[in-house]
Structure 1
Amino acid sequence: MASFRFIHAADLHLDSPFIGISGLDDNLRSFVQESTFRALERLVKLAIDQQVDFIVISGDVYDSSHISLRAQLRFLDFLERLGAEGIAVYVIHGNHDPLDSTKLSMKLPSHVHVFGVEPGSVTAKRRSDHQEVAVISGMSYPTSKVTDNIALRYPAPLSGLYHIGLLHANVDGDPQHETYAPCSRKDLIRSGYHYWALGHVHTRRTLQESPYIVYPGNIQGRHVRETGPKGCYVVDVDDNFNTRLSFRELDSMRWNIIEAPVDSCRDVDEWRRSLASILARTASENANQLSMVRVRITGRGPVHRQLEGGYVLDELLADLRRKEAAKGAKCGYRGCVWIESISLQSGDSFDTQRLLAEDSFVGDLLRLVRREQEHLQAPDGVIAASLEPLLEHAEIRALLEETTPDEIEDWVRRAEELTLGLLLRDRLQEEGAEP
């Protein structure tokens, strides 16, 4: 068998709306909303530069089952440009863009194969001499809810050719993702395929190397839970079926979570300068991207009290955003840092370990809080009981239903700090911790 090269991409989520990012001016909002299309443009360039023989896309080409015409036209342009270079494309659709999605019917070019509602196989050829080099199998989601193990229905491999399976699925029950098309690594290993090109999980990971079972992640991070470089894999297969993967970045906007501790800072201005240094380092590390950053203020110290009121952080955030917006307008946002939000997770100058060991009201209260933090979502817990009266208000109920466990944990942490501050203010004054 001849050697060949292909690209494995997944979860393009074209035209993702990026809802919930606040404070953007028109130019920056346009840059953000174009980011999935820029990643697609970089994917085209990569495929041409690397002279790949074909591309496989493992589901969720589009972000929503109500597919925008803009997304369809941009994807069609992507396909046509690849076709002009003789690069074939093999596609499955996932839970975000199932085959019953609302979209305009468009005829796809002949070099594009979209797998249907039943598992099937096609043969892929090398560009240079049209020699058959691989069998590609796949299945698209007919609807957004596919909950059976479709991997068990994939065709058996054929001898003599490299076999690639395209599958949009949750392998081994990753709790961070919905369990669509659930299967196990054992199921995939037993198939006899050489490479499972997975989609659905947006975190890049290689679950297995013999055979290869690979999530490339999405090509562009869409929110703060999708941090770090995003892109695709260039895969080289030699004439002995030896496989080598090379990750390539495609994102133009990269999400980061950074910590800005208050421990060693004497005042807010010293902390502000420390934060500026951290942000400058983030910009340097992501010189080719716009960095979207969530700042977590951590540690313990008297500076926490000066930040707790909120107005200092609000004014600082507004000033930092103003400067980055002006800078970005001149440089196309490359190397800029936009603070998506600031999360106050620091605390006052309390020795919480000492307080936890105390036989006192404060010690009892702190131990109760720690127990509640272990099961924040428990329906019979203190937190659920405290929020229950608010559920009678429709608007508040809607907001609470959208609240994430991380946000609830932040609420509990802030409530703990505020309570300790009120209960221990006299003790702090006696110890000289009060400014």
Structure 2
Amino acid sequence: MKFMHLADAHLDSPFQGLSFLPSNEFKNIKQSTQKSFTEAIDTALDRNVDLVLIAGDTFDSVHPSPQSQLFFNREIKRLTDQKIQVVMILGNHDYLNPDEMLLPQTPYFKLLGSNEEVEEFESKTKEDFPYTVVGFSYQHNHIEADKISEFPKKGDNFTIGLMHAGAKTTTNYQNVYVPFTTAEIKDLNYDYFALGHIHLRQALSEEPLIVYSGNLQGRHINEQGSKGVYIGTVDEPTKKVSLDFIETAPIIWQMATLTLDQEISQTDLTRQIVEILTKKNVQKTLFGLTIEGAQYLSEKELELVKDSEYWLQLSNSLKFDSRLVKVYLTNNEKLQLRTADKEAFDQAESETFALDKIYALANDLSKKSDYVADILKKPEFIDEVKELAQVKLGQKLKDINDEVNSN
């Protein structure tokens, strides 16, 4: 028996923060989720799998476009026309009412647990190898209940668990996506457990296999590296599974770092950035760049490296239509302050960057813009604001220090 495990296609993903790119290029990037999904279906057909498991968040929202729903149906039909069984669940992004979805009408497609109740699906491969898939779909964006306890005991069939969920944490407000422990899943003793929700490809357990396949296409700089699907090959006498990862994403995200230890001209700065990105540029890539030691940049250079037009010009030197799409600035120099000054500085820093202070300053603007309101909720945005402020402060203190030393 062969099966494919995929998750988190996030069709219709908006790819926020990339709208500065040329319109045709931005359109191609937005189509990358569909391209990766098509490549996954191609792989399933080429590998002649018996079963395709879809572990939630196929769509990015509960309002998928008609185009993406029709696209999904066309791609699934390519599988079901070949009598390849597809078993799917809905996740916390696409918790749609099944009655309002354009779903394939064929015995070779099954949406599990559409009422949020754990459901079993039994079938056989073309060679009469019996298997069972157990899982459920979201009908709300949060599920705090313990669903593992609802999964039935394993029977004689080769048994696969299918779930869109996150591991339990010590932070209660995060435990809203069917919190579980790996030990709880292992106790079920299923032959394979296919997980979705976490976009990092990883195996939580080797015996038995409990696996996140990751998402199909990275959508921002925190989703770096190869993205794709797993092909599982079952040794039917022993029911042991071997996994192969197949990359399907047409675009990857990567970070690069430039470290400065002295002032630099714009010409040398540009040359070094291009050299660093070129070394990593082996396929179509969206790059983020961290400049460490940004306190050595002049005001003009700071403005330059924050300018998206500059990023576009740099990107013309890269292969595969790759692009630099984000620059981060960090101060790698510790401030040399007297004890009393350091205490005052630390207090000022904590007060300035307190979340309530930031929200208060941005309150009026966030009322006028949903985008601002959303971005203020992102910890990485607050961190970036802090870094930029520290770079600016480090730059000012460096200038003062240079003046003192020259007198």
TM-score, normalisation: structure 2: 0.88
- 1:292-311 equivalences under 5 Å are 292-299=286-293, 302=296, 304-305=297-298, 309-311=302-304
**Which letter does structure 2 place at the counterpart of 1:294?**
G
- Change in 2 beyond 3 A, CA 1:307/1:208: farther
Partner residue of 2:239? 241
In the alignment, residue 81 of structure 1 is paired with which amino acid?
R
The 5-angstrom pairing of residues 250-261 of structure 1 reads 250-261=248-259
Distance of aligned partners of 1:174 and 1:230 in 2 relative to their CA distance in 1, 3 Å threshold: farther
Q: 1:283 touches 1:336 (CA, 8 Å); kept in 2?
A: no
| 1:51-62 equivalence runs, <5 A | 51-62=48-59
Deviation per CA, 1:144-166, whole angstroms, max 9, x where unpaired? 3322111211122112x211010
- Taking the aligned partners of 1:55 and 1:274, their CA distance within structure 2 comes to 46
Residue of structure 1 in register with 2:158 after alignment? 162
Amino acid corresponding to residue 9 of structure 2 in structure 1: L
1:295–1:342 Cα contact (<8 Å) kept: yes
1:219 shift after superposition: 0.6
| Among candidates 381, 385, 392, match of residue 407 of structure 1 | 381
Q: Residue 236 of structure 1: CA displacement?
A: 1.3
CA distance in 1, matches of 2:165, 2:389: 39
Which whole-Å CA distance do the structure 1 matches of 2:118 and 2:57 have between them? 17
Give the whole-Å Cα distance in 1 for the aligned partners of 2:45 and 2:193: 23
How far apart are 1:397 and its partner, in Å? 9.2
Contact 2:329 2:391 in 1 (8 A): no
Match of 1:64 among 61, 64, 86: 61
| Equivalent of residue 419 in structure 1, options 393, 400, 406 | 393
Deviations 1:257-298 (A, max 9, x none): 2212222674332221111011112212xx2xx211121111
Q: Distance in 2 between matches of 1:158 and 1:272?
A: 63
3-state SS in 1 of match to 2:339: coil
Cα distance, 1:301 vs structure 2: 6.2
2:357 pairs with one of 385, 388, 396: 385
Q: Return the alpha-carbon distance in structure 1 between the equivalents of residues 370 and 216 of structure 2.
A: 34
Partner amino acid, structure 1, of 2:2: R
How does 1:141-180 map onto structure 2 within 5 Å?
Answer: 141-159=138-156, 161-173=157-169, 179-180=176-177
Cα 1:370–1:207 change in 2 (3 A) is farther
SS of alignment partner, residue 256 of structure 1: strand
**C-alpha contact (below 8 Å) 2:294/2:329 kept by paired residues:** no
Aligned AA for 1:340?
A: V
Q: CA deviation at 1:70?
A: 1.0
Residue 408 of structure 1 and its aligned partner are, at CA, apart by: 1.8
Pairwise CA distance, 1:398: 6.7
Tell me if 1:126 matches 2:125.
Answer: yes
Given that 1:293 and 1:340 are in contact with CA atoms closer than 8 Å, whether structure 2 keeps it comes out as yes
- TM-superposed CA distance for 1:400, in Å, is 5.3
Whether contact under 8 Å (2:89, 2:135) holds in the other structure is yes
**Cα shift at 1:213:** 1.0
Aligned length: 400
Is 2:220–2:253's contact at 8 Å kept on the other side of the alignment? yes
Q: How does 1:74-85 map to 2 (within 5 A)?
A: 74-85=71-82
Alignment correspondent of 1:291: 285
What does 1:6-45 align with in structure 2 at a 5 Å threshold?
Answer: 6-45=3-42
> Where does residue 330 of structure 1 map in the other structure?
none
CA distance in 1, matches of 2:379, 2:323: 24
Does residue 1:95 correspond to 2:92, yes or no? yes
Aligned mates of 1:228, 1:216 — CA distance in 2: 13
Matched, 1:344 2:329: yes
Contact 1:203–1:226 (CA under 8 A) maintained in structure 2:
yes
Distance 2:364 2:265 in 1: 43
- The alignment-based identity, stated in percent, is 26
Q: 1:369 to 1:169 in 2, by over 3 A?
A: same
Contact 2:266 2:301 in 1 (8 A): no
Question: What is the rounded CA distance, in whole Å, between the counterparts of 2:304 and 2:279 in structure 1?
Answer: 26
Contact 1:229 1:254 in 2 (8 A): yes
CA pair 366-245 structure 1, distance change in 2 beyond 3 A: farther
What SS does the aligned partner of 1:310 have? helix
What amino acid is the match of 1:37?
Q
Do the aligned residues in 1 keep the contact of 2:76 with 2:104 (CA within 8 Å)? no
Pair 1:253–1:157, CA change in 2 (3 A): same
- Residues 352, 154 of structure 1: alpha-carbon distance in 2 compared, 3 angstrom cutoff: same
C-alpha distance in structure 1 between counterparts of 2:394 and 2:108, whole Å? 66
Is the 8 Å Cα contact of residues 66 and 101 (structure 1) preserved in structure 2?
A: no
Query: Which is further off, 239-248 or 33-42?
Result: 239-248
The one-letter code matched in structure 2 to 1:122 is F
AA in 1 matched with 2:402: L
Contact conserved, 1:203 with 1:215, CA < 8 A, in 2? yes
Query: 2:281 aligns to what SS in structure 1?
Result: helix
Q: 1:228 to 1:148 in 2, by over 3 A?
A: same
Q: Using the alignment, how far apart are the partners of 1:167 and 1:219 within structure 2?
A: 17
Task: Give the corresponding residue for 1:275.
Answer: 273
* Cα shift at 1:223: 1.7
User: Aligned letter for 2:298?
Assistant: R
- The CA deviation string for residues 29-56 of structure 1, in whole angstroms up to 9 with x for no partner, is 2211111110111111111121211111
What letter corresponds to residue 310 of structure 1 in structure 2? E
RMSD, aligned α-carbons: 2.8
Instruction: Tell me which residue corresponds to 2:368.
Output: 395
1:198-227 CA-to-partner distances (Å, cap 9, x unmatched) read 111111111111111111111111122211
Whole-angstrom distance in 1 between the partners of 2:371 and 2:2: 49
